[in-house]
Amino acid sequence: MQINGKTIIHGIIGNPVSHSLSPAMHNSAFAALNLNAAYVPFPVTDVASAMTGLRALGIRGVSVTIPHKQAVIDHLDDIDPVAAKIGAVNTLCIKNGRITGHNTDWIGANRALAEKIPLSGKKVLILGAGGSARAIGFGLLEAGAQILLASRTPQKGRQLATTLSCPWYPLDAIPQLTADCLVNATSVGMAPHTDTSLVGRKNLSRFAVVMDIVYAPLSTKLLSEAAEEGCQVVNGLAMLLYQGAAQFKLWTGEEAPVDVMRESLISSLSAR
């Protein structure tokens, strides 16, 4: 595709964003559907000025990543009800100068897990108490799942558990907990610290499905050991893919070419 005066611009704001796989994913989708659109990274430190700039420049859609998912909320014209409950926004839709905030992280997590197990009525143990755990927790509640929460930080963990109306446990209680699914919603296991996991191998066989939001490496220590213990595993690329597909639909009104997007993500990771 040749960029011209009619090209519709999309992007991602965060700090840093140079490592993001989203440009490759979304640009491959635009190309596959022959859309005159492009997606570029915008490193942002001043959120207020950036939001003004997005309006002024006529940017159509924007992904929001760390550390701005909460800060952008003060600068929105509208917010999706689920995003408001989560308290974090990862997607901006801009039309006629008005910015609406959405959250597709929970959609991505739900879709990735639902490929392995129906979520309604299932018990899911979430590890972590940060923004990802929050979004995943709300999403699972929307799907009718029951949540358990375990984290390294008691204060943050108890606060999130209160918000999600679920019990909180310290990590050393995991051997006594049972659930259908285990979700690591922390950065533990991410490169270069690939030799770490929050759950001992001997405790993994009690979970039918184990998901890790980390996608570098694609197979974390947690997922490798879970697979060896007979669990079904879901890597972090699946959540990234499906949250991106939901963004694409919001921005374009078109069904996302998921297979094309998946291949671009895998290729981009392999090239690193």
Active site positions, annotated: 69
| All residues at 6 or more sequence positions from 93 whose CB lies less than 8 Å from its CB, including other chains | 60, 61, 99, 100, 102, 250, 251
Integer Cα distance of 22 and 11 in angstroms:
9
Give all strands (DSSP E) within the chain, no chain letters: 8-14, 37-43, 61-64, 78-79, 91-95, 98-102, 123-127, 146-151, 168-170, 181-184, 209-212, 232-234
| Residue 209, helix vs strand vs coil | strand
The DSSP 8-state label assigned to residue 7 in this structure reads: P
Quote the CA–CA distance of 155 and 88 in Å, as a whole number.
20
* Integer Cα distance of 129 and 158 in angstroms: 9
Q: Determine the Cα–Cα distance for residues 137 and 139; give it in Å rounded to an integer.
A: 5
Closest of 190, 268, 265, 176 to residue 222, by C-alpha: 190
Separation of first and last alpha carbons in the chain: 25
